[in-house]
Structure formats: C-alpha cells, structure tokens
Amino acid sequence: MKKLLIIAMLLASPLWAVEPGEMLPDAAQEARAREISKGLRCLVCRNENIDDSNAGLARDLRLLVRERITEGDSNEAVVAFVVARYGEYVLLNPKTTGTNMLLWAAGPLMLLGGGVLAVLGFSRRRRAVAAPADLTDEESVRLAKILDP
C-alpha cells in the first residue's frame, strides 16, 4: 500500500520541462537560470513559464538564458537581452511604464466609464417616464361604479 502511495505521489508531482542536458554544471548559475526562467513566458503556451513548457521555443529560450549566464551577463542583462529579441510579451509580469500603463489602466477605466453610462441612461429613462395624469370626472364616476358592487 505504501509503495502505491509513493508512486501516486510521484505521478502527481509537477513535471519540469528542463531536461538534464540543459542544466548548467554550476549549481549557482543553474539557480540563477531557474530564477530568470520563472519570469519568462513561453510564447507558445502563453501563461506558462519557460521552465514548465515542453515547447521547442521554450527550450530555445532556456538554452539562450543559460548561454547568456555562462557568458557572464547579470540577471537584468539576460532579461533585457531576451526582451530586446522577443519583445515585452515574453515577460510574465510586464512593466507598468509607458504604453503598458495605458493597457494596465484600460480595463478599470472602461469599467468605470460603463458604470457612469449605465447610471446616466437609467436616470434619463426614469425622468422621461411621465407621471400619470389625474382622472377626469367622467373616469372617476366610471371607476366608482366598477369598484362599488
């Protein structure tokens, strides 16, 4: 029973896409590569970092990151190199500067604008509904006949 439980736990654990041949011999450099890879998006899988993806492009990016690290680049330089080559879309958490600020603010601004338009439309419709007119004498007499048995 214990063996079955251990096998089930091993099968349920996440599988990493980093292959043994890709890993750097220096543990410190490999740790840096893993840290950088956590913030880089797989351009094929979209919402997966390159370490978790089995796509060929993700493998190329992993190798590129490790190559830049072995050449002596800092973490920031590696990320800047990848962004210069593939664009800011490769970042899982893009920077909130420049035109990205407009993209970050667009959703809340559209929600706020839609709310304002809904409130204005509701209030205009409410004002447009005319108050019911008073009954004429003839209608009052007729209503009294209907209501009295």
Helix (H, G, I), strand (E, B) or coil at 52: coil
62-68 average pLDDT score: 90
Does domain 2-90 bear CATH number 3.90.550.10? no
Query: What is the distance between the alpha carbons of residues 113 and 117, in angstroms, rounded to a whole number?
Result: 6
Q: What is the DSSP letter of 40?
A: B
Average pLDDT for 62-71: 90
Residues in a beta bridge with 29: none
Poorest-confidence range of 30-39, 92-101, 114-123? 92-101
Is residue 79 within 8 A of residue 39, CB to CB? The reply is yes
Distance, CA of 102 to CA of 119 (rounded, Å)? 25
Q: Rounded CA gap, 57 and 45, in Å?
A: 10
Q: Could you give the CA distance from residue 81 to residue 77 in angstroms, rounded to a whole number?
A: 6
Q: Where are the domains of the chain?
A: 2-90, 99-147
pLDDT tops 50 at residue 22:
yes
- Alpha-carbon distance 85 to 80, whole Å? 9
List pLDDT tens digits, range 34-57: 898 888 988 888 788 888 888 888
What is the predicted pLDDT for the residue at 138? Answer: 92
pTM, to two decimals: 0.57
Please provide the average confidence, as pLDDT, over all residues in the chain: 81
Residue 12: its pLDDT value, please?
45
Residue 42 and residue 86 in contact, taking contact as beta carbons nearer than 8 Å: no
Distance CA 44, CA 24 (A): 24
